[in-house]
Amino acid sequence: MSGNRRSRLDASSHHAIDESSIRYDGWRIVAVCFVVATFGWAFGFYGQSVYLAELHRQHGWSASLISTATTFFYLFGALLVIFVAETIKKFGPRNCLLVGTGAMAAAIVLMGQVNAPWQLYLADIALSFGWAGTSLAMISTTLGLWFDQKRGMAISLALNGASFGGIAGVPLLVIAIGQFGFSRALMLAAAVMIALVIPIVLIFVGPPPLRASAGPSSTGDAPSSSLIRARAFRDIGFLSVSTAFALVLFAQVGFIVHLIAFLDPVIGRSGAAVAIAMLTAMAVVGRVLFSTVIDRLNQRLASALSFVSQALALAVVINCRNEALLIAACAVFGFSVGNLITLPSLIVQREFDARSFGVLISLLTAITQVTYAFGPGVIGALRDVSGSYTLPFYGCIALELAAAALIMLRRKSA
């Protein structure tokens, strides 16, 4: 039935747009989203690892205290992410990207001024607005307005910016902190973000194609956002995707946030920065390799294999102290990091009505974010209680393997 509805939409308007043409305006939006993702993940996601290490060094705060604030950041951000699709529909992708960029820049300036725990929470509130306006739901929904047939490739290419944010953002941020200090380095980073992203969005992001902007509103039988959400919570296909990726991202985010703190005493700060860079570089390699074939793969099976590969890499990280092997294990772990951001969107696109895409992606992102919000805090608390990262990282392995089984559950008729 959903296939018939999609065909009806395609027949009415989609056929006139050649998404494979290099001249298609949508590819400029992919480039814009790449830049937005670079800064969004550098400061909102990978930056959390830097903030944790620096705040611990400056103030002597415990890992659990700082990572609990990180949990708050993800939880508050999840509340905002739920409404990304409606916000884009009301205000347009251009305005939403501008506000998200401004909020992210303001947040990292505040982060550099933190001198008390309550100030850390205030900075994380601002960071939540920036994250909601520059991360997965915003980028996937925005690209969904320009792409249908090539949506998988578009999202994969744009989200390479997320990996580039880790490759370039974390090492450059660490270097800048060493040169200018924590506060000045973050002020400089905010200035660079504003100077680069705002003009690009203003110049290149206009109104989406008529068929994308008019499609949902012009279709009389399109369900409301609240009805789409209600149906999703009764759908085994949606529940298996959202639960599996929630478990994996709980483990993945918790591991990455604590990675520098774990590796620092083992291979030093510079070695830890190299491991983060290698992890994110392999995320780019994995996503680029997948982007050419990802629309033709069994995406649930690809997800399960990715989960298992991360579990094996974690086992090496826990039990190895050789610098080269640790960096290699981080590379293996990173090969799947990028695709685990992209795959949920592609599974939703393949298995659900196209008109529900924006709402379902926002909902799925919120569910996974609420879950993985507890990853840094739980891992930090377990580390403080047990005295090492062995127990929490073994817990992450268990979650990865459970998710690999769960993702293979799907409804009989997609």
pLDDT single digits (tens) 83-116: 888 889 889 999 999 999 999 999 999 998 988 8
- Tokens of residue 4, six digits: 């018939």
Return the pLDDT at 295: 67
Quick one: fold of 31-206+223-406? Growth Hormone; Chain: A; (1.20.1250)
Return the pLDDT at 341: 78
Cβ–Cβ < 8 Å for 78, 370 = yes
Tell whether the torsion through CA atoms of 101, 78, 258 and 276 is positive or negative.
negative
- Burial letters 59-86, b for 16+ CB under 10 A, else e: eebebbbbbbbbbbbbbbbbebbbbbbe
Return the pLDDT at 93: 92
Q: Between the CA atoms of 94, 100, 102 and 108, what dihedral angle is there, to the nearest 10 degrees?
A: -160
- Tokens of residue 185, six digits: 């380095």
Q: Tell me how far apart the alpha carbons of residues 273 and 110 are, in angstroms, rounded to a whole number.
A: 24
Return the pLDDT at 247: 94
Contacts of 134 by beta carbon, 8 Å cutoff, 6+ apart: 36, 37, 39, 40, 44, 97, 100, 101, 104
Return the pLDDT at 286: 85
Q: Tell me how far apart the alpha carbons of residues 192 and 187 are, in angstroms, rounded to a whole number.
A: 9
Helix (H, G, I), strand (E, B) or coil at 150: coil
Cβ–Cβ < 8 Å for 367, 380 = no
User: Against a cut of 0.95, is the pTM above it?
Assistant: no
Return the pLDDT at 297: 75
Contacts of 189 by beta carbon, 8 Å cutoff, 6+ apart: 43, 108, 173, 176
- For the chain, list residues with pLDDT below 70: 1-20, 210-223, 295, 411-414
- Tokens of residue 164, six digits: 């580039």
Return the pLDDT at 267: 81
Alpha carbon separation from 79 to 46, 73, 360 (Å, rounded): 21, 10, 14
Return the pLDDT at 59: 84
Alpha carbon separation from 401 to 57, 70, 257, 397, 398 (Å, rounded): 34, 25, 20, 6, 5
